[in-house]
Structure 1
């Protein structure tokens, strides 16, 4: 089979682009020599590119001579963010995750009733589980819910779970509590700490045979450019064919999938 021909590129744009990328990766304005070094260019070669970028508003030179990204670069970034659709970014990543792991994959958003399945991609050997788009997951009884719980502000979780008429009373009755219920508040504290510690230590949350017996799952959250949870990926499969160890290929795959979406949504990885 004939290999596809490599598309023609403009080398000067690629070279100049290295300067813009170097500025975008630096926390503040840069001197010419430092910027050129970061872009692996001689200063004399970098300077004409910066002059052209300045005319376009992509770069600006400050009074102290340092270079920074200009207003046109900001506008480009904002326009890109406004055009981003998290689901449009996430679905192809989820499909690749399902194909590479040969397991079912869920994309969940935080909805009015809590963690809500918006897309399920079945494995070649589908799981016989009662789950589809619109299914609301338990907040602390599932890997999906625990991934949200590990990342969402506590106030949101408290408001959602509080009281017998709380929004999750029907789907997560075990987590009903009132503000005056000390035991309930302590139980919530313990559950939240557990989920947060899992996420901090492993980058994923895990469920072993719960809420569905013999089905294991790993979940990881993807974040937007403001550091808010955009969605959660969950990979799940039958325990007989699902390595649930923390360092398993399954755990790594879902963590990397979430990181890829976070990066594409503009989240600054630390």
Structure 2
């Protein structure tokens, strides 16, 4: 067993105040902050004074409330910039595939549209004609519909042209989506937070797909669970759907998105 590194107890004690601010999510009075951190105001004050000097904490002179300062904000921004959505999501989809025992893919918005960048296989063999590097349809696949539903229309309209033309749905000269069918599909996906494919476009394969958002609220990934029609439950409230949403919500939180359970 690795020996635990020696730390500085006073820093760890002061860290309780920072954690209390994180949990509360809003500026706090000294007495409330101290209580949340499990210490007296007299003990908390010197820590807050030191944190203020280095910019971790600042006090509003009009209200007396403490909140995170400029250094804390800079640290948060640097952390978010360094986070790779794919890197964060990879162990999560590995765990999801093991939990549901179905294939799970990870897709990003690439040069040519939704592009698969990771695939996790289940314990049993399954034939799914989707591999790393595959670009999938925006309108015919669960993965594609996630991007169509949550990305800015200006970004996806050019890519939608081909799908709309092939499916004879039509589009206007400004490349804006027309047709109540597509509007309804995308609105339903936004409401549920899930897209579903039942036996199509891959014959004999069902799928659920859900979005991953970053700290700004932009969709950065689509996580898709896939399985054979006879074994993959497509009920909206199925254990597969719930496990998928739990997975994508956890990834979004890791990327700084405030997601409510």
| TM-score, normalisation: structure 2 | 0.87
- Work out whether 1:218 is the aligned partner of 2:216: no
Picking from 42, 59, 62, the partner of 1:61 is 59
Structure 1, residues 6-45: CA drift from partner, whole Å, max 9, x if none? Answer: 9477665444333223334555432212323443443233
Residues 36 and 226 of structure 1, relative CA distance in 2, 3 Å threshold:
same
Which residue does the alignment assign to 1:174?
Answer: 167
Structure 1, residues 139-161: CA drift from partner, whole Å, max 9, x if none? Answer: 12111111112211223232322
- Work out whether 1:79 is the aligned partner of 2:72: no
Aligned partner of residue 207 in structure 1, secondary structure: strand
Deviation (angstroms), 1:260: 1.1
Deviation (angstroms), 1:210: 0.9
The answer to whether the Cα contact below 8 Å between 1:104 and 1:126 also exists between their aligned partners in 2 is no
Residues 215 and 43 of structure 1, relative CA distance in 2, 3 Å threshold:
same
- Work out whether 1:249 is the aligned partner of 2:242: no
Which residue does the alignment assign to 2:178?
Answer: 186
The answer to whether the Cα contact below 8 Å between 1:205 and 1:220 also exists between their aligned partners in 2 is yes
Take 2:71 and 2:91, find their aligned partners in 1: how far apart are those partners?
Answer: 30
The answer to whether the Cα contact below 8 Å between 2:117 and 2:133 also exists between their aligned partners in 1 is yes
Deviation (angstroms), 1:59: 0.6
The answer to whether the Cα contact below 8 Å between 1:104 and 1:121 also exists between their aligned partners in 2 is yes
Which residue does the alignment assign to 2:101?
Answer: 102
List alignment gaps of at least 5 residues for structure 2.
none
The answer to whether the Cα contact below 8 Å between 1:150 and 1:192 also exists between their aligned partners in 2 is no
Deviation (angstroms), 1:130: 1.8
Take 1:6 and 1:192, find their aligned partners in 2: how far apart are those partners?
Answer: 58
Aligned partner of residue 61 in structure 2, secondary structure: coil
Picking from 203, 215, 221, the partner of 1:231 is 221
Residues 19 and 84 of structure 1, relative CA distance in 2, 3 Å threshold:
same
- Work out whether 1:150 is the aligned partner of 2:146: no
| TM-score, normalisation: structure 1 | 0.84
Take 1:45 and 1:245, find their aligned partners in 2: how far apart are those partners?
Answer: 54
Take 1:253 and 1:217, find their aligned partners in 2: how far apart are those partners?
Answer: 13
The answer to whether the Cα contact below 8 Å between 2:197 and 2:207 also exists between their aligned partners in 1 is yes
Aligned length: 258
Residues 236 and 247 of structure 1, relative CA distance in 2, 3 Å threshold:
same
Which residue does the alignment assign to 2:110?
Answer: 111
Which residue does the alignment assign to 1:16?
Answer: 14
